[in-house]
Structure 1
Amino acid sequence: MIHAHSLGRAARYFPERPALAAAKTRTTFQELHDRVGCIAAALDRHGFKAGDRLALLLPNEPDYIELVYACAWLGVIAVPLNTRLSVKEIDVILSDANPRGLIRHSSLPVPTVQVSWQLVLDQEPLEVRSDSVPDPIYDPNAVLALIYTSGTTGRSKGVEITHANILENVYHTNFWFPLEEGAVHLHAAPIFHIADFPFMFAAPAFGACQVTIPKFNPQTFCETVQRERVTHTVLVPTMINMLTQFPEFKKFDLTSLQHLGYGGSPMAPELVHRTRQLLPNV
């Protein structure tokens, strides 16, 4: 259901606008929509059906976003895995989630729990071809993602996020973090984290382009904001603290940045003050 109100809507209203960008790639909303449909068809050929779970252990890259969109298209439940966990911790989550498949990147930890289907995406890309594409599902109560908590107060627990939950989040976002056609959202925080995950659906709903960086550091963040003219991003307080202490910060043109959200933990008043001094127009 979320497809119709997010990427599907963008393909109808903003087909030629830039949708997704990384260091070497640029994609319009129409191109992204067509590619996601083909990825959904590829997953369908591998036997994935609505209600099946697909675990994702990937860095912040366009492939990640495309796969989550394909899951939303089919009604497959995405299980984003924290890339910073140990093999043992990932194994615990996989045992609990019991996914039908796992798509991972070779640079990340290799789980030992066996799943019935597994793909190392950077070594064995999905065979994406323009053949019969299944119709997108439209079920508000369908589970879109199973996102695991950090486990700071006990064992990590899987939280079901429905298509309707994400749509409500998109509406809510439009009030406190307004996106618009031509805006550019940077996925600097991990996509697997609930603080950033919903923005991959909010951005296309309003015609905003998304930019990814595989891993946050102040240098890469500043270079990307300057190069891509980023207008919106969400960070965690630790990242913001690193930015305020980055000695090269003022060498970059970050004037395009309009909105900076944070989540994951509270932010100390002195850090809020330092951030406002550093970015007075944000």
Structure 2
Amino acid sequence: MLAFSKYHGCGNDFIIIEEWHQDLSRLARKLCHRTTGIGADGLLAVTRKPCTMRIFNSDGSEAAMCGNGLRCFVKYCIDQGMAESEISSIETKAGKMKVMDISHDPFSCTIDLGKPDCKASSMAIDTTESTFMHQKLFVSDRLLSLSSVFIGAVHTVLYMDDIGIASMDSLGAQLCSHPIFKDRTNVDFVRVMDEHTIELITYERGVGITAACGTGACASAYIAVRDGKCVSPVAVLLPYGKLIVDVGDTIRLKGPAVKIAQGYWQEY
């Protein structure tokens, strides 16, 4: 049997394991299945020394980084009795992430995600332009204006005033797998509420529509500030909570994490 814990950050839920003896991609698909498994958006596989986190989406693909997953990981480490100094820096596929401003009741923390990267070549986008900002793409009978940035993961942001979840799911899937994005992309649907507030729905690569996406919140806030639509800090409103993004020399993400359950999984 495999010991696990389950956490969520603003509705973005993760299964966390420390010891495993099989292929993590296969394990993620089995554990994250909403009907035949435990059910989650992703699997976090962690080691303590050094403090390292790997994340696998529910389809088994490995992601470089996840903002909500990082906060859940920090909360897990606190619950396991690790000192805050031990988790001040976390190794990920996207590099070392700095953890700060840990509060305990209720839990929240801030993750410094580093500098955004707007180079199209860094994101494997098939374009002759150096960046992919305000680029026009015709998809599903819509002429869309898209902007992409890498903040721990590739995100493509578009502003939408009136669109339903079903339409976002369909459009997100088409954009995620569009040939111009050679490694696929996460898709962020943003509605600007005021200069300090946006609403966000994210279609995650390898997952689909999710209740929250930390790197998506950072990407959306960064693009909104860059476009002059918002001023930092930006509150990102999500179906199950709120994240705060500070856009400066680096991108800082603040938000909660909650423990849902723990137990043992027995493969059948």
The normalised TM-score by structure 2 is 0.25
The normalised TM-score by structure 1 is 0.24
Q: Which has the higher helix share?
A: 1
Where relative contact order (Cα < 8 A, 6+ residues apart) is larger, the structure is: 2
